Chains A and B, each alone.
Chain A
Amino acid sequence: MMSELATSHSDRFSEMAAAVLKRAKTLGATEADLLVAEGDSISVQIRLSQVDRLSKAREKVLGLRVFFGKRSASSSTSDFSEASLDRLVQDTCRLAQAVVEDQSSGLPSADQMAADYPELDLKDSRQLSVEEEIDLARRTEQAAFSADSRITNSEGAECSAGYGSILLANSHGFTGSYASSSYSLSVSPIAVDNKNGGMQRDFWYSAKRKFHQLDSPEYVGQEAARRTVRRLGSQQISTQEIPVVFDPETAKGLLGHLASAVSGYSLYKGASFLLGQLGQSIASDLVTVVDDGRLPGGLGSRPFDGEGLATRKTIVIDKGMLTSYMLDTYSGRKLGMASTGNASRSVGENPTVGATNLFLSPGIHSPEDILKSMKRGLLVTDLIGFGVNLVTGDYSRGAVGFWVENGEIAYPVEEVTIAGNLKQMLKDIEMVGNDLEFRGRLASPTVKIRKMMVAGH
């Protein structure tokens, strides 16, 4: 029902978009574009088998950007009444005339607009009823409790389904739209240490665009329980420099930092540790990083980007060599390069650069082999804090994981930090796992870094 609602609205929205663009032109705007996003979602949280929270939402929002020559301004509203939209267009036009000219501003040229819309398999019409969601979340939490008697409490399990659609139109006459869906299941169990009463919590999840691709509630619950119980009895280790292995979940974080550092905005602002490194070797030759906006069913896939350019596959790092930045039109112009179709847009904001589906290509080693390669080292499974300086590459974060001795996991570790510099860490990647799995927009196999400073007692 909800996704049909989205479709039936799209005609009305494209008429509205045309009217708004026309109004902007009448007020003197030389160019304009706008985005209309709408969505429905329903989510259920279960805690200790009882429904804790049930949320339903319907949203719509329109974001407008106008240009007066090289001056521009943006705005957004959720009020679609004619009077409100009219006021919005006027306010935005006035705002644009209050800022200075920016030589790089403006829409992409008309011939760059996406011409083809491949079927990316982003939408599932499967509707979930509240009762189904309650059942799925309840089974997920129950599976966690059943998996181990030390699981005695829970922050809850959640099941959610969301359906949305995006319409983008601009004064070049481009109008594009697509619909998507997403489903997720997660649980956060708590285990108690019988010896000292200390508690540990962990989390597991599954998120997909297609309902039938979700992992089963039983699997999600059992995996969450396994990840939680294995943290019991965690201890600090002493301060030392040792090899550090990032599991796929934490290695994804490294890709996130890389994505920020190759974003055109960080680069032209001089705020990236990868400034001026294009065409140079910045990582070990085991490292190949790809951004693919057209991966079928991908959580980061979309047919066109936030400016209407076709999405594509970009090789960011090829065997250690930095081969491409990620750019939108504006940051590309600042750097004298073409957009890579990575414009990402929150409604009402100016476009910025965002990864689509960004992944580190798998290597040849099994995760077990990677652990076996370490006489002594740290396997990191969770990270907290924001201790990453993208200008310098300095990296220092709180870590949770396992002490590895003679290639085997010895005991769980907590209350330590791992520190280094991302420039060196990328070069120090000496093993890449074969365990790549897409669980979100970023994906990485297990990664081993030759050495990092671990601070503990």
Chain B
Amino acid sequence: MIPSLSDFALQEKDVLQALSKATARDVDYADMYVESCVTDSVSMEESLVKRAVKSISQGAGVRAVAGERTGFAYSDDLSVRDLEIAADTARYIADSPQGDNPIAVTHRAQPSRNLYPLSQPLTDITTEDRVDLLNKIDVEARRYDPRITKVMASFNTEQKIFLVVNSEGQLVGDIQPLSRLQITCIAEDGDNRQIGTFGGGGRVGFTFYLEQDRAMEFAREAARQAIVNLGAVEAPAGTMPVVLGGGWPGILLHEAIGHGLEADFNRRKTSAFSDLIGQAVASELCTIVDDGTLPFRRGSMNVDDEGTPTSRTMLIEKGILRGYITDRLNARLMKIPLTGNGRREDFRSIVLPRMTNTFMLAGESDPQDIIRSVKKGLYAVSFGGGQVDITSGKFVFSASEAYLIEDGKVTKPVKGATLIGNGPDVLKKVSLVGHDMKLDEGIGTCGKDGQSVPVGVGLPTIKIDEMTVGGTAMG
């Protein structure tokens, strides 16, 4: 299904006339992004599904780009008058009078594929079905272990419809579904209280959660983590070998290199990766891509928020830095390929180059052999969030489930600890890459410049010879 301007009660001629107010002699490019988003959320705690929230948001953002300058204005009123005011404001940046070149749509591009064909629109899932799912999760998580004392779960869906029309005469739109199930368990044993969280989702419909017993598996996994943490000892402090499990630990790639390869920081030369194209930034075992074309994935899109089809971009090939991820502005100014990574949180936000699904390709090692190769170190399988200082390259990510490795064996669980490293160096210390590449379950949200967008990550089991682990126990 392709959206049309009539979904917004707008006529093409009015939109084009408004957008033409954003163009002027010095404006290189202008676009108008019209969006509507419906989100539905139900949540459960104390074995009661007692909260339900629905929100409807719609509006339009207009921008005009002149050289490196961007003028941007938005309105949550979609009247022709408000669109014209926004367009006129955006043009201010160009410092030249309004143009009189009318814009005509010459390229009515429809996404040539549908990466997320759903049998039922997310907005059609009944509240009763949502409530029923959460109730079953509660029972399942509590059944896992009597020490599970609290279960909290939420199920959120979002249906985003947008159209973007630009000064080059292109009109493109997409309907992007997104859903997520999130479960938190608290386990208690005397005074010892621990938390476990798990979840999953993607650009998937309701049946995804019911297939393969997935929702119940998520519930058991959240409960299992909380129980494991009841037995956690203090994490070690200091530098040591670190083995990362497959899947979500790929957040390492997102923080350590992904952000540093976003084109805007490199155009400004404010990234620790600036001017490193063609150089070795990782061991030759590492090949890393950003791929927005994987069906049903949380970070995937048919087209990005500028209407550019998403693609698979080689970031690091056998250790060599190959490319950056771009939006229109930065691709044009840097004269490098457009990769379909122009993303925005919503109509209120400007477009930035952002990651989609970022992962490392599988290697050849057996994951068990990787663990056996470590005499004393840390094995981390689940993480909370991470953060990076783009300029210095220093990044952190925090383990929520980790174990000691002693004499090649996984032994005691340890308390959560933050791992810290230097982006351009850390992957040079990758000495083994497993054959078990796995994508995460679909829960990632990336923040940049105050904007949140859904992303995916993936990783095979890998060994990093040396990393600083921020525990509390003197190693």
Which residues of A line the B interface, CB within 8 A? 47, 50-61, 71-79, 84, 88, 91-92, 94-96, 98-102, 105, 130, 153-155, 190, 198-201, 231, 234, 236, 239, 241, 269-271, 275, 348-350, 384-387, 389, 391-392, 394, 396-398, 400, 414-421, 453-457
B1 within 8 A of A: no
B156 CB to nearest A CB, Å: 12
8 A-B pairs with the lowest CB-CB distances in the bound complex, closest first: A417-B470, A385-B396, A398-B396, A387-B418, A201-B391, A387-B398, A386-B385, A98-B127
B45 within 8 A of A: yes
Cα A55 to Cα B58 in complex, Å, equals 18
User: Are B268 and A47 neighbours in the complex by a CB distance under 8 Å?
Assistant: yes
B206 within 8 A of A: no
Cα A83 to Cα B455 in complex, Å, equals 36
Cα A421 to Cα B474 in complex, Å, equals 15
User: Are B468 and A417 neighbours in the complex by a CB distance under 8 Å?
Assistant: yes
Contact of A53 among B69, B270, B394 (CB under 8 A): B69
Closest to A384 in B: B387
User: Are B386 and A102 neighbours in the complex by a CB distance under 8 Å?
Assistant: no
Residues of A within 8 A of B3 (CB): none
Cα A421 to Cα B75 in complex, Å, equals 46
Q: List 8 A-B contacts (CB under 8 A).
A: A58-B82, A98-B128, A99-B52, A153-B270, A155-B268, A190-B391, A397-B396, A457-B468
Closest to A456 in B: B468
Interface size on B, residues (CB 8 A): 80
Of the stretches B186-194, B212-220, B287-295, B300-308, the one at the interface is B186-194
User: Are B472 and A419 neighbours in the complex by a CB distance under 8 Å?
Assistant: yes
Known: A50-B68, A100-B49, A398-B396. A392 touches B59 (CB 8 A): no
User: Are A75 and B53 neighbours in the complex by a CB distance under 8 Å?
Assistant: yes
User: Are A73 and B53 neighbours in the complex by a CB distance under 8 Å?
Assistant: yes
User: Are A419 and B45 neighbours in the complex by a CB distance under 8 Å?
Assistant: no
Known: A53-B69, A415-B422. A105 touches B195 (CB 8 A): no
Contact of A105 among B50, B74, B194, B384 (CB under 8 A): B50
Contact of B398 among A47, A74, A396 (CB under 8 A): A396
For the complex with contacts A385-B396, A396-B235, A456-B468, 10 further pairs of A-B residues with Cβ separation under 8 Å are A56-B89, A73-B51, A77-B56, A92-B54, A200-B391, A201-B270, A241-B474, A386-B384, A387-B384, A419-B470
Cα A172 to Cα B101 in complex, Å, equals 56
User: Are A457 and B472 neighbours in the complex by a CB distance under 8 Å?
Assistant: no
Closest to B236 in A: A455
Closest to B53 in A: A74
Cα A398 to Cα B193 in complex, Å, equals 25
Mostly helix, strand, loop or mixed at chain A's interface? strand
Cα A234 to Cα B235 in complex, Å, equals 26
Residues of B within 8 A of A397 (CB): 396, 418, 470
Cα A418 to Cα B472 in complex, Å, equals 8
Q: Give chain B interface residues in 250-273, CB to chain A under 8 Å.
A: 268-270, 272
User: Are B54 and A417 neighbours in the complex by a CB distance under 8 Å?
Assistant: no
Cα A67 to Cα B59 in complex, Å, equals 29
Residues of A within 8 A of B186 (CB): 269-271, 391
Closest to B193 in A: A391
Known: A50-B69, A201-B391, A391-B186. A79 touches B270 (CB 8 A): no
Known: A53-B72, A91-B54, A350-B51. A386 touches B416 (CB 8 A): no
Known: A76-B55, A415-B394, A419-B471. A455 touches B70 (CB 8 A): no
Residues of A within 8 A of B272 (CB): 199
Contact of A239 among B89, B238, B390, B394 (CB under 8 A): B238
B380 within 8 A of A: no
User: Are B193 and A198 neighbours in the complex by a CB distance under 8 Å?
Assistant: no
Interface membership of chain B positions 78-114, coded 1 if the CB is closer than 8 angstroms to chain A and 0 otherwise: 0000100010010011000000000000000000000
Which residues of B line the A interface, CB within 8 A? 42, 45, 48-59, 68-77, 82, 86, 89, 92-93, 127-128, 131, 149-150, 152, 184, 186, 188, 193-195, 235, 237-239, 268-270, 272, 348, 350, 384-392, 394-398, 415-418, 420-422, 468-475
User: Are B398 and A385 neighbours in the complex by a CB distance under 8 Å?
Assistant: yes
Cα A84 to Cα B193 in complex, Å, equals 46
Residues of B within 8 A of A99 (CB): 42, 49-52, 127, 131
B324 CB to nearest A CB, Å: 17
Residues of A within 8 A of B470 (CB): 387, 396-398, 416-419, 453, 455
Contact of B386 among A84, A200, A201, A385 (CB under 8 A): A385
Cα A201 to Cα B392 in complex, Å, equals 7
A237 CB to nearest B CB, Å: 11
User: Are A419 and B417 neighbours in the complex by a CB distance under 8 Å?
Assistant: yes
Residues of B within 8 A of A94 (CB): 127
Cα A457 to Cα B467 in complex, Å, equals 9
Contact of B72 among A56, A72, A102 (CB under 8 A): A56
Cα A58 to Cα B237 in complex, Å, equals 49
B15 CB to nearest A CB, Å: 18
Residues of A within 8 A of B237 (CB): 239, 417, 419, 453-455
Contact of B193 among A102, A392, A455 (CB under 8 A): A392
Known: A99-B131, A420-B472. A55 touches B385 (CB 8 A): no
User: Are A52 and B70 neighbours in the complex by a CB distance under 8 Å?
Assistant: yes
A421 CB to nearest B CB, Å: 8
User: Are A239 and B474 neighbours in the complex by a CB distance under 8 Å?
Assistant: yes
B235 CB to nearest A CB, Å: 7
Residues of B within 8 A of A53 (CB): 69-72, 350
Residues of B within 8 A of A57 (CB): 73-75, 348
Residues of B within 8 A of A155 (CB): 268, 270, 391
Contact of B389 among A60, A201, A236 (CB under 8 A): A201
B148 CB to nearest A CB, Å: 11
Closest to A382 in B: B389
User: Are A348 and B55 neighbours in the complex by a CB distance under 8 Å?
Assistant: yes
Residues of B within 8 A of A455 (CB): 237-239, 420, 468-471
Cα A269 to Cα B43 in complex, Å, equals 13
Known: A199-B272, A201-B392. A398 touches B387 (CB 8 A): yes
B188 CB to nearest A CB, Å: 7
User: Are B69 and A52 neighbours in the complex by a CB distance under 8 Å?
Assistant: yes
Cα A18 to Cα B389 in complex, Å, equals 49
User: Are A269 and B75 neighbours in the complex by a CB distance under 8 Å?
Assistant: no
User: Are A102 and B391 neighbours in the complex by a CB distance under 8 Å?
Assistant: no
Known: A60-B76, A457-B239. A54 touches B397 (CB 8 A): no
Cα A451 to Cα B235 in complex, Å, equals 17
Contact of B387 among A350, A386, A418, A419 (CB under 8 A): A386
Residues of B within 8 A of A454 (CB): 237
Closest to A91 in B: B54
Closest to A96 in B: B52
A54, A72, A198 pick with most chain B CB within 10 angstroms: A54
Contact of B416 among A76, A387, A398 (CB under 8 A): A387
Closest to A58 in B: B75
Cα A189 to Cα B48 in complex, Å, equals 50
User: Are A398 and B394 neighbours in the complex by a CB distance under 8 Å?
Assistant: yes
Cα A73 to Cα B170 in complex, Å, equals 41
Cα A329 to Cα B93 in complex, Å, equals 47
Residues of A within 8 A of B54 (CB): 73-76, 91-92, 95
A197 CB to nearest B CB, Å: 10
